[in-house]
Amino acid sequence: MTHFTYRFEICQYNVNKFNLNIDSRLKFISLRSFKNITSYLMEITEEKVMMALSTVIDPDFKKDLVSLNMIKDVRIDGQHVYFTIELTTPACPLKDQLGNDSRSAVKEMVSDTAKIHINFTSRVTTLRDFRSDVLPGVKNIIAVASGKGGVGKSTVAVNLALSLMRSGAKVGLVDADIHGPSIPTMLGLKGLRPGLEKVGDKHKIIPLDYKGLKVMSIGFLVEADQAIAWRGPMVTSALRQFITDVLWGELDYVIIDMPPGTGDVQLTLAQIVPVTGAVTVTTPQEVALADARKAMSFFMMNGVDIPVLGVVENMSYFTPTELPNNKYYIFGKGGGRKMAEEYNVPFLGEVPLVQSIREGGDIGVPAVMDNDPIVTSAFDSVSRNVARNVTIKNAQVREQLVENKS
């Protein structure tokens, strides 16, 4: 072997060795980078969770939960993910859906091994200016009305108020049926009197309390069998006092049980109270629907312009206690739903004709407090739909105000 050949082979050996070292180093660097990337991809971070939740859409607002500012208090602890969904009402009917969709989004987009813990809170929306002298501190005012008596309007108003309260909302109930107050009987408060409290130089009325529900009725101020033979001005004056001289405090909803018809009280309410929306109660038969349409038209009149939240059909069907799955349509079928479609307003639900509802009203234990599953389910469905439509109406008005300003 020549000297030249020997030197060449040594050089070739060194080059190969050098290439091998580079190759090994590249492999080492690539492996380390792969591990880093894998580690990053597997790591659960607040940023990733928020990105996943930004794909969850609220069906009512058609926007994602992050842009709606409904996601709060995100916290990561290893594989455990904690966050809060702030609902627009404690009676939100979409609560389970939003929770399931959020859980699925985090598992699919962040980590399928994540253990997800969701807390729900609520912040009821409002358009009201709390500096107002009319029901200051009350976020939403809902009128429950009917075109005629005998359709169970007061029963719906009482159980609606209590169902909202049981969901976690702070609720008040005004019995505006001055000539025929029935709320004291239905809540077992007959014979009780409201208190007085001096605020500044005025005396204010303290509403009665029924298991957390604040209640005011003319029936608390007169004897049970005393006829209230008042003309229009006195009736409207009493209603005005219930609205302005009662210490209602901070409430999410005040339910106003209206007298039947479209007279002085309804006009006064429209003039002095910023009503969020009205619920119309009817029974399925045409005789009741004819008058319910008048009530609906009243709220839609120019100068009244109270949004209609929807229609509740009471006494929709008879269900015997011993046959809970049977439905007998004594007063016809679907009249309330058809009227809602006719006026292009939401149908809020059906309430069955059940003996326990009547009995509860007579003995002062409203049906939703008796935990009858059929009745409770019906009223809870109505209250969730009412709360949902209040939120939607508030959002629509707010968006319209923003558009008008721009």
Domain assignment present for 239 = yes
Looking at the predicted structure, is the pLDDT value of residue 389 above 90?
yes
Identify the band that residue 169 occupies on the pLDDT scale cut at 50, 70 and 90: very high
Lowest mean pLDDT among 73-77, 179-183, 350-354: 179-183
Same domain, 146 and 278: yes
User: pLDDT tens across 17-29, in order?
Assistant: 444 454 555 444 4
Average pLDDT over residues 245-269: 88
| b (16+ CB within 10 A) / e for 142-172 | bbbbbbbeebbbbbbbbbbbbbbbbbbbbbb
Task: Answer whether residue 286 shows pLDDT above 50.
Answer: yes
Decide if pLDDT at 12 tops 70. no
Confidence of residue 33 (pLDDT cuts 50, 70, 90): low
Same structural domain, 101 and 149: no
pLDDT at 147: 82
Single out the residue in 88, 122, 156 at which a domain terminates: 122
283: in domain: yes
40 has pLDDT over 80: no
What mean pLDDT comes out for the span 271-294? 92
At residue 232, the pLDDT reads 72
The pLDDT of residue 3 is above 50: no
As a whole number, mean pLDDT of residues 156-179 equals: 94
The predicted pLDDT at position 13 comes to 41
What is the pLDDT at residue 6? Answer: 41
Residue 50 is assigned to a structural domain of this protein: yes
What is the model's pLDDT at position 21?
A: 52
What total number of domains does the chain contain? Answer: 2
Under the banding of pLDDT at 50, 70 and 90, the label for residue 403 is confident
List pLDDT tens digits, range 108-126.
999 999 999 999 999 999 9
Which residue stretches of 43-142 are H helix?
46-53, 95-109
Q: Which residues contact residue 194 at a Cβ distance below 8 angstroms, ignoring those fewer than 6 apart? A: 205, 206, 207, 208, 216, 220, 221, 246
Q: What is the mean pLDDT of residues 132-157?
A: 89
Burial 209-228 (b: 16+ CB within 10 A, else e): ebeebbbbbbbbeeeeeeeb
The token pair at 159 is 């159980």
Q: 9 pLDDT exceeds 50?
A: no
pLDDT at 131: 66
Rounded Cα gap, residues 248 and 244, in angstroms: 9
Same domain, 95 and 144: no
Report pLDDT for 34: 46
Q: Phi first, then psi: what are they for 289, rounded to 5°?
A: -65, -35
Q: 336 and 366: one domain?
A: yes
Given 68, 92, 122, which residue is the final one in a domain?
122
Q: Do 247 and 350 belong to one domain?
A: yes
pLDDT tens for 237-249 read 888 888 888 999 9
Whether residue 147 sits in one domain with residue 99: no
Higher pLDDT residue, 373 or 366? 366
Cβ burial, residue 350 (10 Å; 0-12/13-18/19+): buried
| CA-based nearest residue to 146, from 314, 325, 280 | 280
172 in a structural domain: yes
* In-domain check, residue 160: yes
Residues 65 and 202 in one domain: no
Name the more confident of 28 and 166. 166
What pLDDT is recorded for position 7? 43
Q: Which amino acid is at 351?
A: V
Q: What value does the mean pLDDT take over residues 274-286? A: 94
CA distance 221 to 213: 18
Same domain, 160 and 103: no
Look at residue 85 and tell me if it is in a domain: yes
Residues 224, 112 within the same domain: no
The β-bridge partners of 251 are 138
Query: Would you say residue 92 has pLDDT above 60?
Result: yes
Q: What's the whole-number mean pLDDT along residues 25-36?
A: 49
What average pLDDT does range 283-296 have in this prediction? 92
CATH number of the domain at 152, please: 3.40.50.300
Asked whether residue 146 falls in the same domain as residue 114, the answer is: no
Among 163, 152, 377, smallest CA distance to 280 is for: 152
State what percent of residues in the chain have pLDDT above 70: 89
Identify whether residues 148 and 62 lie together within a single domain: no
Percent of the chain exceeding pLDDT 90 equals 57
> What's 88's domain CATH number?
3.30.300.130
In terms of residue numbers, what domain contains 228? 138-376
For residue 157, what pLDDT is reported? 96
Q: pLDDT at position 35, please? A: 46
Residue 298: is it exposed, middle or buried by C-beta count within 10 angstroms (0-12/13-18/19+)?
buried
Query: Residue 14: inside a domain, yes or no?
Result: no
pTM attached to this predicted model: 0.84
Does residue 3 form part of some domain? no
Q: Do 113 and 148 belong together in one domain? A: no
Residue 268: which pLDDT band, with cuts at 50, 70 and 90? confident
DSSP assignments along 268-326, one per residue? HHHHHS---EEEEEE-SSHHHHHHHHHHHHHHHSTTT-PPEEEEEEEEEEE--TT-TT-
Domain boundary among 95, 122, 149: 122
